[in-house]
């Protein structure tokens, strides 16, 4: 596929493209949290809460970021996961995961590092995608 065909495909299906970008970022963030390369820092909300528990940190990465993004990523390759049911479920679970990370960051670090605003905007976009797919399904 050439670049122009890829751009045309994105412009024909913008909602799928937006959900694909969010799913890809959630998937790779979850893999990073699962990996041994994850560095616990003072401004990382996951490492502040789960500083002593590697299993807790890895379960957050798996259940809140990798698994919710998986149906959307599989939908790029398999027809079975391209249904509205799978798209709406994936968008809802990504909304829950991103909202969890936003709340965790606000509770542990407070309002001053404004990075939580970007997480909140991704969560709102995921919620809008969920509502869009539910409206199309009805």
User: Has residue 81 been placed in a domain?
Assistant: yes
Q: Which of 74, 137, 65 minimizes the C-alpha distance to 101?
A: 65
Confidence of residue 50 (pLDDT cuts 50, 70, 90): low
User: Has residue 47 been placed in a domain?
Assistant: yes
Query: Taking a C-beta distance cutoff of 8 angstroms, is the pair 99, 123 a contact?
Result: yes
pLDDT at 95 over 90: yes
Of residues 124 and 108, more confidently modeled: 124
Start-to-end CA distance of the chain, whole Å, equals 34
Mean pLDDT over the full length of the chain: 83
Number of independent structural domains in the chain: 1
pLDDT at 57 over 80: no
User: Has residue 120 been placed in a domain?
Assistant: yes
pTM: 0.82
pLDDT at 70 over 70: yes
Dihedral angle, C-alpha 51, 56, 57, 58, nearest 10 °? 150
For tokens 């909304």, the residue is 95
Query: Taking a C-beta distance cutoff of 8 angstroms, is the pair 98, 119 a contact?
Result: yes
Of residues 120 and 112, more confidently modeled: 120
User: Has residue 35 been placed in a domain?
Assistant: yes
CA angle 125, 128, 130 (to 5 degrees): 110
CA distance linking residue 46 with residue 123, whole number of Å: 17
Confidence of residue 96 (pLDDT cuts 50, 70, 90): very high
Q: What is the mean pLDDT of residues 34-42?
A: 77
pLDDT at 87 over 80: yes
* Residue 74 belongs to domain spanning: 15-137
């Amino acid at each position: 596929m050439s670049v122009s065909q890829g751009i045309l495909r994105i412009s024909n299906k913008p909602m799928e493209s937006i959900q694909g970008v969010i799913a890809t970022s959630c998937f790779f963030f979850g893999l990073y949290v699962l990996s041994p390369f994850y560095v616990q820092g003072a401004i990382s909300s996951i490492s502040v809460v789960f500083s002593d528990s590697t299993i807790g940190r890895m379960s957050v990465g798996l259940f809140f970021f990798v698994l919710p993004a998986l149906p959307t990523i599989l939908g790029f390759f398999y027809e079975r996961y391209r249904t509205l049911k799978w798209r709406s479920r994936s968008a809802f679970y990504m909304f829950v995961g991103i909202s969890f990370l936003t709340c965790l960051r606000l509770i542990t670090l407070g309002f001053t590092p404004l990075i939580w605003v970007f997480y909140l905007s991704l969560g709102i976009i995921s919620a809008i995608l969920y509502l869009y797919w539910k409206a199309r399904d009805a």
